[in-house]
Amino acid sequence: MSEDGFLRGVDYLDPLVKYRGERLGYTLKKLTGKDLQLEDGFLVDTYYIHYLPMPIPVTKEEVNKGKEVMYNFINMMLDSELVIKNRNYSIANSAVSMALSVSYIQNLIEELERIKRTSQSQEEREMAEQILNGLMKGSGGKESNTKNNEENQKMERLMKQVHEKALSKAVEDAEAVKNMQRIVGGNGAGTGSILNFEGEIHEVLRLARNTEIKKILEFLNGMPRLGSYTKKRTVRYARGELHGYEKGSDLERIVYSELALPDELFYVKFADSDLLLYQKKIKEALGPIYLLLDKSGSMDGEKIIWAKAVALSLYNRARRENRDFYIRFFDNIPYPLIKVMKNAKSKDVIKMIEYIGKIRGGGGTDISRSIISACEDIKEGHVKGVSEVILLTDGEDKIAETTVRRSLREANSVLISVMIRGDNADLRRIADKYLVVYKLDHDDLLRVVET
């Protein structure tokens, strides 16, 4: 066994394994603002415990002197029912395994430091310090072997206490990361590349701990149907995929058996457009999704949380359908346009989610101005290929009908209005599609996303 770690079959000198350890150390530094100087082997093992399908530890007799603290924590993780249960989604998922590892170690260190700083018991403070030292680089051989059984039992109890607290928080964080992957990254065949998030896991964890984002993710987590609907549009094309058969005279698509007909019969069928042909089609590219989202004061609370969930769900659909996604918030003024292209990197998606999480309800409502701004984006080429603008609002606002109609016509775009617990007669007349939602539940969300 390498003296660096405690798992059999892991080559701690392998460049990829060393890279994992470096990434964990870097991510912890980004999250805590401190260089913790933890043992590399301990960092690597916490990752591979979640990533590997069946991690096997070395025996206690093989553990080098001074490494007992790390070995005990590794064993506690391996024996944990939570860890075993979470392997359903952590095995071979580097982002979730990274989130579990980083969050566990961060919370472990912070809990031990809290005990060391605030405990009323001097003995407990000293034990917390000993445990911390046992996790640090160069700690080998520094642990005392003079402890009696009672002291060892107290030390083990404290380790178990901080371990369970840290693991519970880590599982909560990893669940949010998993949900974020599922919702914005896609997780099925034919959905394009899956966003991994591993390179930005510190940013993802910060997002996952954001109260607003956590509420949205928890709401969307209960939606097994999310991501099952995909819009497909096909057009006929001579060199497309086979979809069936039809009659006609296009010799390029003729069924070969027709060529065996007698010449006279063949020419009669050709003249009458009665030859059996292959019907072929190709998938037509869908245009971007453009969303206008009302953030006025009346939207604050449940309504804006639900609307943000719709926004992430629409992005999920855009990514699955290989479409660009645009979102603009508005109240009495339009806010900056956020663009997430179909080939966006994970850092661009994270920025969008972070922006959505920061927006709070407030201000008045100017629906006309927001629609006109969207049309200007289309006409001036700030966005390309948009044919539909989706408006989410609860606004009882007077619409400048003539101006809005003209703007939509000049942008060659249609308007889909979604009224959130409200009604607007002007929008009802202007919009090409007009929906009203009251419950703000999963069914309402799916109705909007699948429209």
Provide the pLDDT for residue 218.
Answer: 84
Structural contact between residues 337 and 309, judged by C-beta atoms closer than 8 angstroms? no
CA distance 375 to 406: 10
Global confidence as pTM: 0.78
SS3 sequence of 85-124: HHHHHHCCCHHHHHHHHHHHHHHHHHHHHHHHHHCCCHHH
Provide the pLDDT for residue 189.
Answer: 41
Residue 183: DSSP 8-state: I
* Domain-wise residue ranges, the chain: 15-209, 234-283, 289-449
Q: Report in angstroms the alpha-carbon separations of 54 from 35, 57, 78, 157, 198.
A: 31, 10, 10, 27, 22
Provide the pLDDT for residue 320.
Answer: 85
Nearest one of 224, 291, 232, 214 to 448, comparing CA atoms: 291
Provide the pLDDT for residue 330.
Answer: 96
CATH number (3.90.1300.10, 3.90.950.10, 3.60.90.10, 3.40.50.410) of 289-449 reads 3.40.50.410
Provide the pLDDT for residue 152.
Answer: 84
Nearest one of 436, 427, 435 to 404, comparing CA atoms: 427
Structural contact between residues 367 and 418, judged by C-beta atoms closer than 8 angstroms? no
Q: Strand ranges (DSSP E) for 357-410?
A: 388-393
Structural contact between residues 98 and 205, judged by C-beta atoms closer than 8 angstroms? no
Hunting for tokens 């429209």 — which residue is that? 451
CA distance 287 to 327: 14
Structural contact between residues 163 and 73, judged by C-beta atoms closer than 8 angstroms? yes
Provide the pLDDT for residue 450.
Answer: 85
Nearest one of 412, 125, 419 to 287, comparing CA atoms: 412
**Structure-token pair, residue 371:** 């629609």
CA distance 223 to 168: 24
End-to-end, the C-alpha distance of the chain in Å comes to: 58
Query: Would you give per-residue pLDDT tens digits along the chain (451 residues)?
Result: 345 789 999 999 999 999 999 999 999 999 999 888 898 899 999 999 999 999 999 999 998 888 899 999 999 999 999 999 988 889 988 889 999 999 999 999 999 999 999 999 999 999 999 999 999 876 654 554 556 788 888 999 999 999 999 999 999 999 888 888 877 765 444 444 455 677 788 888 888 888 889 889 888 887 766 665 555 554 454 555 666 788 888 888 888 888 888 888 888 888 888 888 888 655 555 789 999 999 999 999 999 999 999 999 999 899 888 889 999 999 999 999 999 998 888 889 999 999 999 999 999 999 999 999 999 999 998 898 888 999 999 988 899 999 999 999 999 999 999 999 999 999 999 999 999 999 999 999 999 988 7
Provide the pLDDT for residue 340.
Answer: 94
